[in-house]
Each structure stands twice: as structure tokens, then as C-alpha cells.
Chains A and B, each alone.
Chain A
């Protein structure tokens, strides 16, 4: 709730993980050694402190080392019977072990031995040692004769009971209590785990398998119990939908009926989710519960983490049936996940539907299976390798220990689909609303109202909403695009009518998990919605398939009628199972009491009348009836039904006028609505179009388009948080609620984050009364609706900080003081306006305040690409910033190399998800490299620059061809988690060791956790961006409703960094609507050391806030590439400098008045601020913003150096430095390489780029011959002239950002059955050559714009967003090939004729090349293959070449549909 102190120390975690197993279930000590070795070689994926001993925890989940346990027990005088179990316990307080034993005794378990686990505490770091628990093993045997299954059940029951009793001590923890497995884990490094746990050194400690895990937590307050693996699961990734899953677990428990436990025992087990656990721990709790209750291992795994089935036509029908059946009770635990699991009898590993976490396997000829995050973590001789592969999106691999058989995806699927006749069950009992509907949107009888306009007014449907939101949706079937940022006050501060959903700010993924691209990766998305009860999840039976289904939660009259008819006794469809009842949400007086009584009505009807569909209907709105805001009603009812344990049987449907954009729909769903009937949106379309003489068909299309738009918008909102299915989004509460009182939050939105606790029921009711009065009493005659003012300024409408008066003043005035007065007079519009200065010192003379030049250094221009703004504007900003000593920012989109080293050079170079123009020379030209994780205007979203805007200049800067559409993906495809970010930071620090590496985040509750993680990933600087940031183009509801004000995020990040003792390691910057000295000083007091400015700079250069940037028609030449319009540009460097000069002077004057002589002295001094003395201000709780905790307030280090010093690369650089200085002397170096050697070549490439730019060196000037398995980012940012030959394999990100040179990977085992490189290779490459004589991972050549590459097979999503270059694969591709591919070419060898199904057909087409017309292409391919054979001696290529006439017929050429000139130049590349 409102006081977010706990957020400062909360955490998210990611990691390196894996498993090792002996296929024949043969125990050996070697298996243990391998597991530890493997884990040790992934240390860089975890967090390592400077002492090399402290980290966030690691561990092993081992098969029970029977021999060792028996021996140990024997030595202590106990002879273990066949059936026994061992509990591993972390205890910190006396008596806890006795409590545990008491519960054993109660459950017929006999304790035979208690053993202190022998430890060597020298292995621990200081912090770990301080909180080291007692680690005790308790051996138990059955008290009486029970079956093995019952014994295991009693172990589970006992552990749960003990956990519940000792809940008050968060450090009491039972890692495992099992007869099959045991965990050795804790706050210990992989390299010292063996030293710490002496048991692990015993040669008799033999295991058959191990799951292992190293944790990377975003905080620095690790706890012993948080180390993984858990009881059955080791997880790498983050469950984005965790809040929904946790809610649903509780709902599912309402109907549990178990074969293993009695009802009474179940009550003793509940709750099954342990408090304070991570997302992974909750997943483990649920998985374990299912297994303990006898659920099948594979079914449990695939029910929790299903493959994408809803929109996967290539999937086997029966398998889809299994998933569809399972979806009646299970929703996906959605998000990036690679999960290793075991129930002691099976082990397995699976990855999420999107393949966002790496999972690589190796099967050896001597019967061992390894699954790890990286290749090369265990040394295996080349000739011992049977198979080297990886899991593709949504796949699982398993091992049945009883039979010693590796079960691949197909084996598991065959088992799942044939275990029951799911297809038949579904056919009998599942109904689809669509089946009963003749036509949709044709019946308009419920869409006309005599008092429509009054109702529209009540629902804030103004002219502007019609014109800017509803009609564009109706016209284009998608949410409209806007530009610039949001400059209006928060809903809670507003004095105008605002929607209740405006209090809610959408959550989005940044760093610890990635957003999804809902357009290009639509295959994983689904809005499939079901109505009906949640059944007992532990059993399967045909009747459980009973469900009414809809393909979207957004209904229209026809489907509503069908839904309602099921509950209508007079209808032939009547089925008491689907009984429904309508509840009006209107009220006359007393909102709170009305809400409570509405709930009582609903609950009574559920309990007494057994209704299962609750229809909340606000159509009773009238001149005498007001409405309970729908989110309030849904949130309250949903939450209370759960606590009253009657949620499982109910689907809540909102019949509401409040929903007419995707945001409002998302709010209702996230708080529990199953479906929405937005009648007022449809009515508004009809009334707005009534004078247009549309045909019936055209009108229906328009209405339908609004529904399609909401569907699309919902997917976008879900995908922002990395959630793929609406089932996993429902109940997720994924919003920050700003400005509502703690009472409302705890009543209705308890799982949502909340800040600025303020408005209570009475305040909301007053606002409703006013709205109601204005809607129903105040009449307008000529044009009955309000005009609006939310999106664009309207006189008398919502306040805009860049309204006409201020903008005009900035445009023209010479009177900056007057401007300042104008801005400062705005009165309580933004959070900072609620604070006054309160100094503890006396005013000093301004002469004693630091100079303007010192202050200038802290000023930066916010990122704006040359492309989104004109060259003229971009260069003017660069010159101004460089002149005063601040920094300008290239933005995402490259920069003309001619500017490097001149006054026009941008000191800050941005690295964003599109990687446009990110070359070695670009990176070397920077003082600061800024990784844009999120953008204020549209965090969690990508962007698109249509081909029509990609002129010659932009094409050159972005390394692409004129006219090619450029897509920026929502995620960085090399940052799906925190350890990935650490890797990218590491890469950048290699290629440009002098640059500050910055990570740009967007303010949201929880950003502190992310900031701490980013600091631990060795970023030097963190930017907290306000949600009001600008953009050239973004969906309107994203601009308005995503992210928070910078004040909230900055204060949280600053304090969280302090709480984690990380503040001193990183610099913090803020941006978002800063305009005057007061803004700067307040930002400083809240913890920012530097300040970035965006929109004000554009406005000084002539921007008039037209909000038409996305149209390329900026009439003042600022945000356009149109030459004629650019001639109108009238901005000057001088005006920019004048503005900054004034700003710095303003800051100095304020400092003097406060008695301080420099900004440094007030940074983080939130105690110098106080809430203004004002009645309205008193309503809100500003403690989170003004909180000041003890600690250092500013960065104390020059740079935040990684633990890994990359010494090998520095050694190599020394060897090649002579050649770099004198390129006429080529050099060849032979060396071994291992997976610990990361970013190979980046350091060398950076040095080359520093001297020669992207022109680099002549081909083959510097040559490396390497043997082994290379670490991540092999050959990243490779410069021209460097050739790398690798006899072995690479990991993820091979050739990322390479600009030239060549990388040739020749593994010993060649061909498509073996992996030669990992995921996301060639991301953003601009040139060079990559050959891999084996297959490569997911998202190969993503956003490639120039590299020529040949491989022998790829994973899913290959060539995604590709804009240039040539890709050849001589083997199979995964699904979704070429999604978003707008440039470049691919040749795909498709002997099995299955490629077409794998193509994403939206933008690309496939053609044969065995005709006369394609002669050029054919010969080109042949030339490539020849070169490939020379470099790799590939057998497959040789075969194709030998039979070229026949084999050429098996090739497809894939090219973007609208491409006319093919980029076939054999002389490109080296």
C-alpha cells in the first residue's frame, strides 16, 4: 500500500542454471563434480562481490546420495531402513528443530538422527557469515508401515505444518524434506560450495542427478533461504504474471479434492504459497503441491508453463486439445523462464513460450545429460559428444530415471496428448459463443439511448475522445498514435472530470524481464477467454472440459445475448451451471456503503442461488442514479469473493460505459473482469457516424473495428509486461495506483502498487457528484458534448504544462524571467509543485555559489534521434551542449561519422533495441554509452519508422537502404534479464573502456529494485525518466497511462540504491518535464546528480507542440525530414545557450537563497523540502517522495568496474597492438578459449575503431585461431580487418553488432543436428561475415543490417526485424521466420518442404531461384557457398555444390514483399 518502504529492499532475481544427470540413473561422485564445475563456470551470470566470496546465493538440488547418507548414519550409530528421508533445515532460533520434530511425531514420522551439517565457514563472505543459520539434517523413517507414496505425502504435510507454525521467523527454512532429493545451497559461491559443505568432498557422496543454480538478485540483501534450487524447481527468468498466478492459486484451492490428502490434511497444508518468496519460489510451491498430490510430472510442468497453442496452427490437434483442456483450470505462469524440475523420478527442463531464456543441452556418448544456460560449462571431449542442442521456444526435454530414456519434445507431447481423449471431451462440453451467433455487431438495438449525450458526458466521452480515440479506432482498427509527451497533471491532482481508470498507471517490463512484441510475435499471444467454474485441478475428467469460450474478452450484444441465454430458464440453451444475474452498479448516495451492499448482493446470489456469471451493469445511470466506478466494483467484488472462498465458481462480466480505450479495458481485466461489454463505445461510434450515410456493412465494420482495436491494445498492454495470454493477465493487478487512499486500495486493489495515498471514498464520491451534475443538469444546446482537453489543449479543459501560453513564450520571449514566473505560477499540477524549500541555513551571497560552468556539466539533452528530429535541430542541440560543456545525446539512430570529434559530436551515444547505426566507431566516439531500456512516453514498447520516412540520410545513418521500414523491437533482444544486461554493459565497456555506461529506466513503483540490479550489473549511471517524456510516435494510451512521474521513481531509486549500499557506485540522472531552476534543485534534493531536458529544447528551437511529429509534417522544421519543411527551421544555438545560461543562473540564485554553495551539497537532501501548507496538499501522503534514509547520497567512484577484469582479452590486445598501430604487419594468434572468456574481440575492435573508424583494417590483418567453447558475445562489435576462426562452438550473441571482419565457427560435429552458436547472434550487425558449420539458436540475425552469414540450421524467430545483409541456412529454421523483416535477403534450404509453415508471411515472400529470371540470385548463392566451403569445409555445403542442379530446387529465396532492388553485391563483406 501507500507506504512503499518495503519496496526499497525488495528484489527480482535471474541467474545461471542447469542440470546434470546420468541417463541410466547411475550414482557417481563425478556427477556432483560436474554439476559444481558447470555452476562455477557460470559465475558471471550471478552477482559476485569484490571479495569473490559473496554473492546472491547458489545451490544444488541432488538426488539422495544414498550411499553417503547410510554411511553417515551408520557412523552415528543409526542403521537406516530402506525407506527414509532427510530434512535439510536452516534454523536460526532455539527450539525450531524441536518444533520440526514435534510435527514429525504428529504425522507418524520417526526421527532417527539429527546431524549438524559439517561446514567450513572460511568459504563465506562477511555478510553471509553474519546471517549464517544453523544447518541441520534430520533423518526420519516411517513410524509404522506405510506405502512409499504415503510416506512422501507425510513428509510434505509435516514440512508445511512446521513452516506455518514457524512463519514468524522468516529465516527458518527447510530447503528440502524428501526421500528422493536433498538440497545443498546457500549464500555461497559455486567455487566455494564444496569447501563450505564438507559433505560434498566425500567420494562416497554419489548422485545420479543434480539441478543447480546461481542467483543474481537485484538487491544486496541476500538471504540464505532465497538461494535456489527449491524443492523441485530451479528457475532462470522472471514470472511476469506472478500476481495473477498467486491470486489464482488461492482461488484454485477453494475446490481442491485430493486422493493423497484428506480435506482435513489439506487445510493443514494451506496456504501452499510461502510468504516472502520469489516468483520462482511460488512456482516451486505450486509445482510441488501438484506433484505431492500425485499429479503427473509432465502434465504438471506443461500445465504451469504451456507451449503457445492458441494461435499455433502448426501444432498437432490432439496436443492443442490437451492444452485447451488444461487451460480450463490453469493459466500460464508467463514470462521468461527456463525451468529445471524434478520429482525425484523424472527430471526435465522447459522454456517459456517465447524462448526468452537460453537452455542448452549436451548428451554424451557415456550417458550423461547436461542442460545449462551456456555451452562449454563442462569439459567434454569432442568425440564424446553425442548431441549438442538447445530447447526452442516452449519446448521441454526430460529424463525418466527409471528407464534411462531421454524424452524429447515429441516424446513428451505424444505422451500428453494420448493420455486422455481430450479432443472428445472438448467436443462434448466446450461451447464457443461464436457458434451461436449469426453475425456480430449487426444488432444495434442496445446502442441507442434517448439521453445518449448526457451519458457520454458522464463517461467523459467528449468531442476529443470521439475524434482522437473512438473514431480513429473505428476507422483504422487500431489505437491511434500520438506524439510528444503527456504534460497534464495526475488524475488525483486534476480539477477536471477524469476517468476513474486514470488513477491507474500501466506496469511495464524493464531489465529483469522483457516485453514481448505483440505484432511480430503474435503467435504467442492470446485473448482466449473462458466462462465457467475452476474445477479441482488435481483430477482430470471429461466434465471438466465444460466451458463457454470466447476469442476475446470484449463482447458485443450478440455474444452477450448468447452468454446470458445459458442462464435463462426459458431458453433452450439453459444450463444451470451457467446461471447468471445482473447487478446494477448505480447508487444514489454513499459510495462506500453502496459498494459494500453491492458486494453482499453478489455474494448472496452466488452462495444462495448458485449463480456463476455475475453481470455488473451500469446502464442504470440516469439523472437520479450515479455510478460506482466499475474498477472499484470489480476490484472490491473480486477481492472479497476470494477472501470469502467463493471466487472459483464465478466469472465477472462488466457491462459498462467506462470502457472505450484499451487502457480502461485492461484495468478491469487486471482486477478480475472476465469479459467486458463496452456498449457506450459502440453507441458512440454509431452516433458519431450517423450523418455519414454509411452502408449497414460499413457501419458494422466501424463498430467491429473498435473491438479489434481494444483487442490489439490489450495485447499491447499485456505484452508490455511480457505477458502473452489474457488468462495470465487477469487478476494480475499490474498497475500502479496513484493518489487513492489506503482504505480504497486495501478494499479493492490490494495487490496493486500504490503511491501518494490520498483520495478517500468521500472525495471520489464528490467528484462523481460533480460529474453527474455537469452531465445531467448542466445542459448544452448546440453541441451537447464537452470539447475535451485531455490529449490536446482546450481552453477551460485540463491543464497542459506545454499549453499555448507557455509554449508561445518559450518560442519567442527574450524575457526568460517572465517565462519562469509563468511556469512557476501553475499551482499544484505536478508532484514537485507540492513542495516548498525549507533550508536549515542562512542565505549566502551568490558570489559564493559554484559557477555556471560547474552546473552546465550536469545538463544533458534527452535522447532524440537524428531522424525523429531534423539534422538542423539535432546539430543545434549538439553544438549548444558542447559549447556550454554539457552533453547532447545521439538518440537511437546513429550519427554521421563526420560529426565525430567535432563540436557537433554527441557525447552521449544511445544503444537502443533497434541498434540502428551502432558500430564500433559510433561507440568509440562517445563519452557516455546510454542503454535505453525504456522510454518515458512508451515504456515496454517498440517503435516503427515507416519506409516512406527513411530517406537517404536516415538510411545511411542507420545502415540500411532508403525506403526500408525500420522496426525497433520492444525488448533489447540481448537483455531478457539482469544478467543479460550485465553482459551488454560488459560488452560496451570492452569496446569503449573509457565511456560511462548508462542505463535509462522509466519511473514506476519498483524501479528502485531495478536500479539496484542495474548498479550490480556494473552500470556507471542510471537515468530515471518520467512518464511524461516525449516521443515522435506512440499509441495515445501509452503516452497517457504508462509509467510514473519522475519524482516517484527518482526518490525510490535513490533510496533503494542507498538501502543496498550501491548509491556510491552509480551516478543518478533525472529527466521529465524539467524547465526551471526550481525543477532542477528539487530533482537534486530527491537524489539526481544530473538533469536532462527534451521538449523544452525543441520548443526553444521553434517547436510549437503541434503533436504531429509522427506525420513528418512538422511545419517549423524541427521534427521532420521533409526538405521543404526543414527550410522553415528557425532555431538557433544562441537561444539554447541563453536558456541554459538562465537556468544555471536560476539554480545558483536558489542555492544562494538556501545557503548552499553547490549542487553537490544538496543532492539527496529531501529534508530541505517540505509539503506546502495547503488544504488540498494535506490529502496526499508524500512520504515516499520525501523519505530520506541514512547513507551516502552521491556517486563516489569514477566508474563501476565489473568483477570480471577480462584479463585474457587485455593480454591479447597487447599482442595485437603492434599491428593495430602499424597495420602493414598482419598477425595471427593461436589460442584456447573457454566460456569464461566473454566479449572476445570487442576490446581489439574498439582500439581499431578509435584509430581507423568503421573503415577498420584491411581484410585478415589480425587473425585469431581459437579452440574451445567461447563465452557470450563472441566477436561482438567486430571491426573490419579482424578474422576469428573457432574450432568449437559459441554461446549467445555471437557477432552482435559486428561491423566487419569475419567469424568462422567450425565445430567438430558439423551439421544441423549440432549447435554451433547460441541465441540472438548478429543482433544489430552492420557488416562482416559469419559462417557456422552447425545450427544456431533463437532469433538468429535479429535486426541484422549488413552481415553476410551462412549457417546450417536456426531456431525460432530467425531474421526477425532484419533490414539488410544476406542470410543462408542449409538446414531447418524454427517458426516465425522473418517476422518484421523489412530488408535483406535469406536463402533457405528446405528439403523437407516444411519451411512455408514456419514463415511469418506478413512482410516477406518466398520465391524459387531455379528459373532464368533468378539467374543473378542463383549465381550469387553459388559464389557464397563456394566461399563457405573454402572457410568451413562443410560436408553439407559440399554435397549441395556437388549436386547443385538438383539441390538448387530445394532453396527458397526470402525477401521483403515490397523490395524491388535486391542487395546482391558479392563484394560486400570481406
Chain B
């Protein structure tokens, strides 16, 4: 360990740009063993492991880094899969640069440990070598219904199954995985990774009912009656608009509609309202990870040009830095410091902005430069401005307490709602957030549910 002075940080290799934009397969290779060991050896094994503290799942990152370096893959696999429900997925899609790697003690001085890539390596190599998640299939402590099969639902199911709790998962879509399957493009996460995890759980006894929408195909009441607990992890799927004129035009689309459609097509599912961008000028409004997903998808869909419009400057972009780099490599053009004013058939009207001094929260405010209006020509305009929760009627009817904005009130530690048996977590509570925080919610809920079952 401690080899950070001798070995520089090296990210896993990426497929060549010209090759990768032709398909939806993952861009990053997985580390070879030697590479993973080298990179893990850089870790200082800090007395205060900031990476571990920052991680919403509190993954014991230094421990598995050390075990990778020690060539004890099995131990690394076990420790990694102890705290995380799907490390090989989160290793790929987490914005590590704002989480573990951002807090790595080496980040500022020597370059952070490439935690995410090593995390992916551990579990992928483990799977290759035949290692599997372990579930307790002997005891049945109780029965829990999980509504939604996204990261929160998968997480709660995983941790419940490990404790020997029977899980029944309900998903309204054709396939399980939620955002992981339909939201995140394949070049970041190939879909068989998600299915593999679902299959492990089905093997461990999880019942999965697809194409089943609670409140429509099955009543929530029956879940409450038939199960010891119910976990709701239905995500936040309602895309946000900018609130400007012309948004109702048919050249304007929401990011998730765009991404889901492409994803469904890739999965050979039937697609309604496919948004074709081929040979078109595409602009994407927003600067987060979803925006990156949209621009990169557009490139792959054969758009003639792709621009990303963002209100602030590059340094202030909320998404993962590596995705910005990847987008640029793939030919995306970034337009910073612009704010949308209105939309017309030929494109989007913008105003230039500037950043003023930081406010109390430390974030700089945006101010408009008067008279800087101009039209950005575009055929397709995609709004990637975040999501709101879209509480389905069955929750409103269920009697759980809601806050004044209509969100579900939960206990932050246990994810329990005002109804003892009902738990809720992930984006359904948080609004659009990260897969890893959804996973952490699922884990916390599972712990609380198990504790309640033990009584």
C-alpha cells in the first residue's frame, strides 16, 4: 500500500471514440487484475477513511482496496458485497468524483484512488471466478412486498433476502431494474448487469411480478394485508420543464422520455413515440448526469450536431466530471453561461449569463447579461432539468402522512412512514437523486424491517 508516490492514478481504458459511438455498449473496460492491484496499492489506508465516510452506503473502501492489493479477491468481494447491494453497478454509475474519490485524502495532492473502477473489478472478477452473493435461504423471518424494482427496491430486496426474509417485488414495467434498466444508457451500464442481479435474487427465492402496477393491477391494501411490511421504491419519474414559452412544441422532449425510448428499443421492446434524432441538430438543456446521458445518446443515435446548454460555467456543473470529458470526446459541444428564454420551431432563444459572488450557501448566483439574447438553432430540444416525485394515487389513498409539498414523510434512519408497516425510500422520497443514495435507503429500510420482524 501507500504507493501513491510511485504509481500515478490511471483510469481504466476506454474504447476508442469512433468505435464506441457506434453502439450502446459500455465505454469503460474493466481493470485487469494487475492494474487493479497497482491502483489499489496507491491507497494510504487512512486513519480517517473519508472515502468510506462520504459513501452513502459507507462501503469499507480501504479494506477491499487492501485485499485487492493482497490478492485476496474473495475477501475483497465479500467485504464489498457486504455493504453494497450491487457494487459492480455502482462502481460504474456512481459519480465517484463528488463522493468517495472526491473525498479521498489523495484527491487534492496526488489524484484520488480510482475507487469506482476497482469496485467494479472486484465484483466482476469475483463473478467470473464463480463468487456469488450469499443469501440466507434457510430461515423465513417474514414476508415483505417491494413496490418498484429500481435501485432502492433492489437494495431493500437484497438485504432482506440475505437475512432470510421472503421478498415479493412488483414492477409495472416489462423488465426489472427501474432507472438502472431504462434510465441509464447502456454505454454507462449494460443491461445484463442489472438482470444478473435480479436473477441472483430470484434464485434466492424472490418473487418478481412484472407488468404489475400497484393501484391498478393489484391494490395497495392487499399488499398491506398480505405482507409483514411494504417498501415503496417507485422513484421520481416526472421530468421538469423550464417553464418557458414554447415548451409545448413537438420539438421539445423530456430527457427521460428520450432515454427510455432508446433503451426500450435496445431491449427490443415495443416503443411508442420514439424520438428520432438522426441527422438532426440536438440541444440538451441542463448540466447534470442526465443531460450527459442525453447528449451521448444523441451522438449514438446519429444526430448531426449535439450541444449541451448550461446556465453556469464548467466548474459548476453538478454531474460527474468524467462524463463531461467523455461527452466532449464524443463530439458534444458545450455552451456554458446561457439561460433558456423561449422555444420556437427553429430552435431555442438564450440569454447569456454571468456568475455573481457566492451567496450564503457558497454557491454563486446566476445573473443575466442584458441584451445578450440570441437563438440557438435546433431541431430537437431535450429538457434535462431534473425530476419531481410523482406520487401515485395509491400512496395518497394509503393514509401515510405527507408533507405540505405532497412528499411522503419518513423517519430518516429507518425509512419508515407514518404507517408502521410501510417504508419508503429512494427518489420517491428524495426527488431525483443518485442510485447510491437510493441503495442506501433500501439498506437502511431493510435493517429496520428485519429489526421489526425480530420482535
Report which A residues bind B (CB closer than 8 A). Answer: 463, 467, 484, 691-692, 779-783, 787, 791-796, 800, 802-805, 807-808, 1104-1108, 1111, 1113, 1115-1116, 1122, 1124-1125, 1128
Contacts and interface: CB of A to CB of B under 8 A. Distances in A.
Contacts of B74: 691
Given A794-B60, A1115-B105, 11 more contacts: A783-B78, A783-B79, A787-B79, A793-B47, A795-B52, A795-B53, A804-B48, A804-B53, A1104-B105, A1124-B5, A1128-B110
A807 B109 contact: no
A471 B79 CA distance: 17
B192 interface: no
B133 A782 contact: yes
A1398 B49 CA distance: 49
A807 B75 CA distance: 30
Contact of B162 (A782, A793, A803, A1124): A782
A510 B79 CA distance: 44
A1227 B289 CA distance: 85
A1108 B2 contact: yes
B393 to A, nearest CB: 37
Contacts of A808: 48, 50
Contacts of A1113: 2, 4-5, 44
Interface in B140-184: 162-163
Nearest to A689: B72
Nearest to B75: A691
B46 A1106 contact: yes
A1122 B162 CA distance: 47
A691 B46 contact: no
B82 interface: yes
B47 A781 contact: no
A780 B60 CA distance: 15
B48 A800 contact: yes
Closest 9 CB pairs of A and B: A1107-B47, A782-B82, A783-B82, A795-B58, A781-B162, A783-B78, A804-B53, A1106-B46, A804-B48
Interface centre among B5, B66, B106 (most CB of A within 10 A): B5
Given A804-B53, A1104-B46, A1111-B2, A796 B82 contact: no
Contacts of A1128: 109-110
B104 to A, nearest CB: 10
Nearest to B67: A467
20 contacts: A463-B63, A484-B47, A691-B74, A692-B71, A692-B72, A781-B135, A782-B134, A782-B162, A787-B60, A793-B53, A795-B53, A804-B48, A804-B49, A808-B50, A1104-B50, A1106-B47, A1108-B47, A1113-B2, A1115-B105, A1116-B105
A1105 B47 contact: yes
Contacts of B109: 1115-1116, 1128
Interface in B95-122: 105-106, 109-110
A71 B217 CA distance: 124
B49 A691 contact: no
A116 B34 CA distance: 92
Given A805-B53, A1104-B105, A1115-B110, A792 B47 contact: yes
Interface string B30-66: 0000000000000011111110110000101001001
A1134 B232 CA distance: 52
A251 B263 CA distance: 84
B136 interface: yes
B81 interface: yes
Nearest to B76: A783
Contacts of B110: 1115, 1128
Tell me the interface secondary structure of chain A in the complex: loop
A1431 to B, nearest CB: 52
Nearest to B72: A691
B79 A793 contact: no
Contacts of B79: 463, 782-783, 787
B63 A792 contact: no
Tell me the interface secondary structure of chain B in the complex: loop
Contacts of A787: 60, 63, 79
Given A691-B75, A1115-B110, A467 B49 contact: no
B263 to A, nearest CB: 30
Contacts of A779: 136, 163
A1116 B105 CA distance: 9
A1073 to B, nearest CB: 15
A1437 to B, nearest CB: 53
Contacts of B5: 1113, 1122, 1124-1125
Interface of B: 2, 4-5, 44-50, 52-53, 58, 60, 63, 66, 71-72, 74-75, 78-79, 81-82, 105-106, 109-110, 133-136, 162-163
A808 B44 CA distance: 17
Contacts of B52: 794-795
A1459 B216 CA distance: 85
A1106 B109 CA distance: 14
A791 B48 CA distance: 10
A484 B48 CA distance: 12
B9 to A, nearest CB: 13
A475 to B, nearest CB: 11
Nearest to A468: B45
B63 A782 contact: no
A373 B403 CA distance: 85
A1104 B48 contact: yes
A792 B136 contact: no
Contacts of B63: 463, 467, 787
Nearest to B134: A781
A803 B70 CA distance: 26
A792 B61 CA distance: 13
Nearest to A808: B50
Interface centre among A783, A792, A800, A1125 (most CB of B within 10 A): A783
A1115 B106 contact: yes
B48 A1106 contact: yes
B78 A792 contact: no
A1105 B81 contact: no
A1108 B53 contact: no
Contacts of A805: 53
A1108 B135 contact: no
A999 B314 CA distance: 58
Given A779-B136, A805-B53, A1105 B48 contact: yes
Contacts of B71: 692
A792 B66 contact: no
A805 B52 CA distance: 12
Nearest to A1116: B109
Contact of B48 (A782, A792, A1122): A792
B2 A804 contact: no
B78 A796 contact: no
A1104 B51 CA distance: 13
A1149 to B, nearest CB: 25
A1108 B134 CA distance: 35
B207 to A, nearest CB: 20
Contacts of A781: 82, 134-136, 162-163
A791 B45 CA distance: 12
A1116 B50 CA distance: 15
Contact of A1107 (B46, B66, B72): B46
Contacts of A783: 75, 78-79, 81-82
A803 B2 contact: no
B40 to A, nearest CB: 14
A452 to B, nearest CB: 15
A1107 B48 CA distance: 8
Interface centre among B47, B60, B74 (most CB of A within 10 A): B47
Contacts of A1105: 46-48
Nearest to B136: A781
Contacts of A1122: 5
Contacts of A1124: 5
A483 B74 CA distance: 30
B82 A780 contact: yes
A1049 to B, nearest CB: 25
A142 B81 CA distance: 89
Nearest to B74: A691
